[in-house]
């Protein structure tokens, strides 16, 4: 008998148990073991009903995705599933934890499904650019109807056991604590009620009479929701096949569609994004056993835009927060803004009134540093001003207990300099949240020169606890994300100087798959922020300060973006759709005339290359300087912080895919024609091209 799938008898029920930690993935050994255990159960004359269940914390939670892309060793999952479904003894899936992907497909092959109340069911393959390829697209519609199956399969989100019962995926939800007991109880019901074996593949009561117009309507909706994505459309094709073809032909169609997804570059991008999201947690040079400091309470300094959002992140995770401001009115306003934010969420039905109060109760406002003596972590989020920050860190050094972590949310300031204000630079670290901090998943944790390893391990861990994707980076101006964004932003402005329109630039960026263009994003964040920084540098006589550009001219007119009803675009009241504005076009034309620039036609290809190659070149410099440790860290920062399309895998993965030689050619070409330090080829990029390597090989 297999050592990962056991067969045993409990009374008259044969129990097949998958025991393959951590998540009972359907790897080769499990597949082989399932077939052998089924054979044992069928051969066992003492039993009349069979139960499939799993040991540990979950039911089979999916296919073994480490086997993706490799030739699958027999028996392949569709064959195992066919084998299970053909069982001549009633076969019950007893589910706890999650039954996802291949795990749910195994359950769908069983004749009955019972789950514990806390279980979740789903077919998330679409998120990896795939579709359920072991009969999921053919069996699920037969259980719950085509429309609901389309929602589940193209959305990829799991549903609760209660929802699974209502939909018809489950035959029963059990309120016990053991899936095995639930399975045994259901086995007794099968006997008592003589429930007949009804293989899902043979049922068509839920799909006959499906309106063919459903599929056209669904495709039209997807063209808006997921216009760039390949796999959701193939999911629709597969479900349509379930409705229009006999089961065996539908299975063949599902296989073809599955293989077309496997071949799609989007699958490679999405799988890279999936694994990289896990890998950013494993920091090279920071071994898995690095001790973690206990964080049971935190303090936030500054209750403005960022401080309020950061306080919410901790309260949402049940961690008590002390929120400190310098002045009473700022504190009152900050707390009121947090309450408004929670109440808006409650209004949408996503929080109960009680949850709002619990979270507000976890946030304790204060004006006194003396109240911070016992907190484990402080995050400073006051104005972006070195003198103020240093003063605050000096005070923290006096009042905080030894071992407390002192973090700053600065976007641009030198963390090592901030650390000099304390006598404990080893405890000082950057925690760079993104706005809105309670929504955005990215957290750049910034390693100072003297930051201790256990501090780094702790801020990475706390990031996970508050639901963020935490990426560790080093100190430089703008860190990783904003430093690269800055290059794209400058290039976008220069493209408009040369003859493109803001909307042409933005359309190229959104056609590539970003949810928003560079300029629409600027209007959302407020173009006054960058303008003020540039103005200060110009006033201070900084020789590297950029010349006054058309965006600065707009900001000078009070056009800050959405918040003032106009920026690079104009906005109708109550509507966030950016609309081209003739006034802006006139202002840009005037600037060109003043500078003697004759606008030229700029191709979409040039826009794409300039906006993206400049980022990749900067990313290579960031890698070379050791600011980011791996190219996958940069990819995750861009996917989670800036909406880089996950199906392209992030900027560095994308560059690897199109070929670094192509990127380098472009960089050199723009360096020759446009000049500027940003186009000086990164020596790392040159070296990789010379060696025929990719970023991923580093």
- Provide the H-helix boundaries in 474-596: 481-498, 502-512, 518-525, 528-539, 550-556, 582-594
**Three-state DSSP class for 298?**
strand
Contact between residue 67 and residue 30 where contact means Cβ atoms under 8 Å apart: no
Instruction: Taking the CA atoms of 283, 286, 287 and 288 in sequence, report the sign of the dihedral they define.
Output: negative
Q: Cis peptide before 75, with omega less than 30 degrees from 0?
A: yes
Binding mask 357-396 for ligand NAD (x = CB under 6 A): ------------------------xxxx---x---x----
Give helix 77-85 / helix 28-43 axis angle, nearest 10°. 20
**Residue 264 sits in the site that holds ligand NAD (CB under 6 A):** no
Active site residue 572: no
**Distance from the Cα of residue 602 to its chain's centroid:** 34
| Window of 192-200, 263-271, 303-311, 370-378 that interacts with ligand NAD by CB under 6 A | 303-311
User: Sheet harboring 298-301: ordered strands across?
Assistant: 363-366, 321-324, 298-301, 377-380, 405-408, 428-433, 442-447, 469-474
Tell me the C-alpha to C-alpha distance, in Å, between residue 27 and each of 122, 367, 604: 19, 57, 45
Contact between residue 490 and residue 503 where contact means Cβ atoms under 8 Å apart: no
Among 260, 305, 507, 591, binds ligand NAD (CB under 6 A): 305
| Window of 313-321, 415-423, 427-435, 627-635 that interacts with ligand NAD by CB under 6 A | 427-435
Among 51, 283, 306, 646, binds ligand NAD (CB under 6 A): 306
CB of 611 to ligand NAD, least distance (A): 21
**Residue 299 sits in the site that holds ligand NAD (CB under 6 A):** no
Q: Give me the catalytic one of 29, 46, 67, 105.
A: 105
CB of 335 to ligand NAD, least distance (A): 11
Question: Which is closer to ligand NAD, CB of 409 or CB of 460?
Answer: 409
CB of 307 to ligand NAD, least distance (A): 6
Question: Which is closer to ligand NAD, CB of 482 or CB of 631?
Answer: 482
Among 27, 176, 265, 304, binds ligand NAD (CB under 6 A): 304
Question: Which is closer to ligand NAD, CB of 271 or CB of 303?
Answer: 303
- 561, 565, 567, 572: CA torsion to nearest 10: 120
CA distance 50 to 74: 24
Question: Which is closer to ligand NAD, CB of 123 or CB of 335?
Answer: 335
Question: Which is closer to ligand NAD, CB of 15 or CB of 415?
Answer: 415
| Window of 154-162, 409-417, 442-450, 463-471 that interacts with ligand NAD by CB under 6 A | 409-417
Q: Which residue has the tokens 């994707």?
A: 469
**Residue 307 sits in the site that holds ligand NAD (CB under 6 A):** yes
Q: Which residues contact 196 (CB under 8 A, 6 or more apart)?
A: none
- Among candidate residues 213, 55, 35, 241, the one with its CA nearest the CA of residue 135: 241
CB of 342 to ligand NAD, least distance (A): 18
Question: Which is closer to ligand NAD, CB of 301 or CB of 471?
Answer: 301
Largest CA distance in the chain: 94
CB of 324 to ligand NAD, least distance (A): 6
CB of 481 to ligand NAD, least distance (A): 10
Instruction: Taking the CA atoms of 21, 22, 23 and 29 in sequence, report the sign of the dihedral they define.
Output: negative
CB of 476 to ligand NAD, least distance (A): 15
Among 325, 491, 618, 656, binds ligand NAD (CB under 6 A): 325
Question: Which is closer to ligand NAD, CB of 176 or CB of 304?
Answer: 304
- Both tokens of 571, joined, read 């906005």
> CA 332, 337, 341 angle in degrees (round to 5)?
150
- 13-18 and 5-10 beta bridge pairing: antiparallel
**Residue 243 sits in the site that holds ligand NAD (CB under 6 A):** no
Question: Which is closer to ligand NAD, CB of 352 or CB of 435?
Answer: 435
- Both tokens of 60, joined, read 């089979």
Instruction: Give the nearest residue (CB) to ligand NAD.
Output: 304
Contact between residue 630 and residue 697 where contact means Cβ atoms under 8 Å apart: no
Instruction: Taking the CA atoms of 222, 227, 231 and 233 in sequence, report the sign of the dihedral they define.
Output: positive
Question: Which is closer to ligand NAD, CB of 125 or CB of 325?
Answer: 325
**Residue 330 sits in the site that holds ligand NAD (CB under 6 A):** yes
Residues 435-474 binding ligand NAD (CB under 6 A) are 435
CB of 473 to ligand NAD, least distance (A): 14
Q: Give me the catalytic one of 125, 277, 325, 491.
A: 125
**Residue 303 sits in the site that holds ligand NAD (CB under 6 A):** yes
Active site residue 105: yes
CB of 408 to ligand NAD, least distance (A): 7
Contact between residue 37 and residue 69 where contact means Cβ atoms under 8 Å apart: no
CB of 431 to ligand NAD, least distance (A): 10
**Three-state DSSP class for 15?**
strand
Strands (E), 325-460: 363-366, 377-380, 405-408, 428-433, 442-447
CB of 382 to ligand NAD, least distance (A): 4
User: Sheet harboring 5-10: ordered strands across?
Assistant: 5-10, 13-18, 49-54, 91-95, 112-116, 172-174
**Residue 409 sits in the site that holds ligand NAD (CB under 6 A):** yes
The upper half-sphere exposure of residue 695, i.e. CA atoms within 13 Å in the direction of its Cβ, equals: 32
Question: Which is closer to ligand NAD, CB of 200 or CB of 303?
Answer: 303
| Window of 7-15, 146-154, 229-237, 325-333 that interacts with ligand NAD by CB under 6 A | 325-333
CA distance 540 to 554: 21
Among 101, 302, 481, 650, binds ligand NAD (CB under 6 A): 302
Question: Which is closer to ligand NAD, CB of 180 or CB of 485?
Answer: 485
The upper half-sphere exposure of residue 106, i.e. CA atoms within 13 Å in the direction of its Cβ, equals: 33
**Residue 411 sits in the site that holds ligand NAD (CB under 6 A):** yes
CA distance 167 to 147: 11
| Window of 301-309, 485-493, 513-521, 685-693 that interacts with ligand NAD by CB under 6 A | 301-309
Question: Which is closer to ligand NAD, CB of 207 or CB of 306?
Answer: 306
Strands (E), 557-603: none
The number of residues that bind ligand NAD (CB under 6 A) is 25
Among 220, 326, 353, 590, binds ligand NAD (CB under 6 A): 326
| Window of 66-74, 320-328, 506-514, 686-694 that interacts with ligand NAD by CB under 6 A | 320-328
CB of 312 to ligand NAD, least distance (A): 13
Which residues lie near ligand NAD (CB under 6 A)? Answer: 301-307, 324-326, 330, 334, 381-384, 388, 392, 409-411, 432-435
**Residues involved in catalysis:** 105, 125
């Amino acid at each position: 008998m297999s050592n990962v799938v056991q067969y045993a008898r409990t009374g008259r029920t044969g129990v097949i148990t998958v025991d393959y930690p951590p998540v009972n993935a359907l790897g080769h050994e499990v597949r082989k073991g399932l077939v052998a255990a089924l054979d044992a159960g069928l051969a066992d004359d003492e039993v009349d009903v069979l139960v499939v269940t799993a040991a540990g914390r979950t039911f089979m939670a999916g296919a073994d995705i480490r086997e993706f892309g490799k030739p699958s060793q027999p028996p392949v999952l569709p064959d195992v599933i066919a084998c299970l479904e053909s069982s001549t003894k009633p076969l019950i899936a007893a589910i706890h934890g999650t039954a996802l992907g291949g795990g749910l497909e195994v359950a769908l092959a069983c004749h009955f499904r019972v789950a514990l109340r806390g279980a979740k069911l789903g077919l998330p393959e679409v998120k990896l650019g795939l579709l359920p390829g072991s009969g999921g697209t053919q069996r699920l519609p037969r259980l719950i109807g085509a429309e609901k199956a389309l929602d589940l399969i193209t959305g990829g989100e799991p549903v609760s056991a209660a929802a699974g019962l209502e939909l018809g995926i489950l035959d029963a939800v059990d309120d016990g604590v053991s899936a095995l007991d639930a399975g045994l109880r259901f086995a007794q019901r099968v006997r008592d009620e003589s429930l007949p074996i009804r293989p899902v593949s043979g049922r068509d009561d839920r799909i006959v009479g499906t309106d063919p117009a459903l599929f056209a309507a669904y495709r039209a909706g997807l063209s808006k929701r997921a216009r760039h994505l390949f796999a959701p459309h193939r999911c629709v094709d597969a479900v349509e096949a379930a409705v229009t073809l006999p089961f065996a032909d539908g299975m063949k169609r599902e296989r073809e569609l599955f293989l077309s997804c496997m071949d799609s570059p989007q699958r490679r991008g999405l799988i890279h994004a999936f694994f990289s999201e896990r890998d950013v947690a494993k920091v090279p040079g920071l071994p898995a056993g690095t001790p973690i400091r206990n964080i049971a309470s935190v303090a936030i300094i500054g209750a403005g835009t960022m401080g309020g959002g950061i306080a919410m992140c901790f309260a949402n995770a049940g961690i008590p927060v002390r929120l400190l401001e310098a002045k009473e009115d700022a504190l009152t306003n900050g707390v009121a803004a947090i309450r408004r934010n929670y109440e808006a969420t409650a209004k949408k039905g996503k929080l109960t009134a009680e949850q709002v109060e619990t979270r507000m109760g976890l946030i304790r406002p204060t004006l006194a540093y003396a109240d911070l003596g016992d907190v484990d972590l402080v995050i400073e989020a006051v104005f972006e001003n070195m003198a103020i920050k240093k003063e605050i860190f000096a005070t923290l050094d006096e009042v905080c207990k030894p071992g407390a972590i002192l973090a700053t949310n600065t976007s641009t300031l030198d963390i090592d300099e901030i650390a000099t204000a304390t006598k404990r630079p080893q405890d000082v670290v950057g925690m760079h949240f993104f706005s809105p901090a309670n929504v955005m998943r990215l957290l750049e944790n910034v390693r100072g020169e003297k930051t201790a390893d256990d501090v780094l391990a702790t801020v990475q861990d706390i990031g996970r606890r508050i639901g963020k994707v935490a990426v560790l980076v080093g100190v430089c101006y703008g860190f990783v994300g904003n430093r690269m964004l800055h290059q794209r932003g400058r290039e976008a402005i220069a493209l408009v100087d040369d003859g493109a329109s803001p909307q042409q630039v933005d359309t190229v960026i959104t056609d590539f798959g970003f949810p928003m263009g560079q300029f629409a994003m600027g209007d959302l964040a407020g173009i006054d922020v960058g303008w003020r920084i540039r103005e200060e540098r110009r006033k201070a006589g900084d020789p590297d300060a950029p010349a006054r550009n058309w965006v600065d001219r707009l900001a000078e007119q009070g056009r800050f973006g959405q918040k003032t009803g106009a920026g690079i675009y104009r906005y109708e009241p109550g509507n966030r759709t950016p609309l081209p504005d003739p006034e802006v076009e006139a202002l840009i034309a005037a600037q060109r005339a003043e500078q003697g620039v004759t606008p030229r036609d700029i191709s979409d290809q040039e826009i794409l290359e300039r906006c993206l190659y400049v980022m990749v070149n900067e990313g290579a410099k960031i890698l070379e300087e050791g600011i980011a440790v791996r190219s996958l860290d940069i990819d995750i920062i861009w996917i989670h912080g800036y909406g880089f399309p996950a199906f392209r895998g992030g900027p560095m993965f994308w560059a690897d895919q199109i070929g670094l030689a192509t990127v380098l050619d472009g960089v050199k070409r723009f360096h020759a024609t446009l000049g500027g330090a940003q186009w000086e080829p990164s020596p790392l990029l040159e070296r990789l091209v010379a060696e025929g390597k990719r970023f991923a090989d580093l």
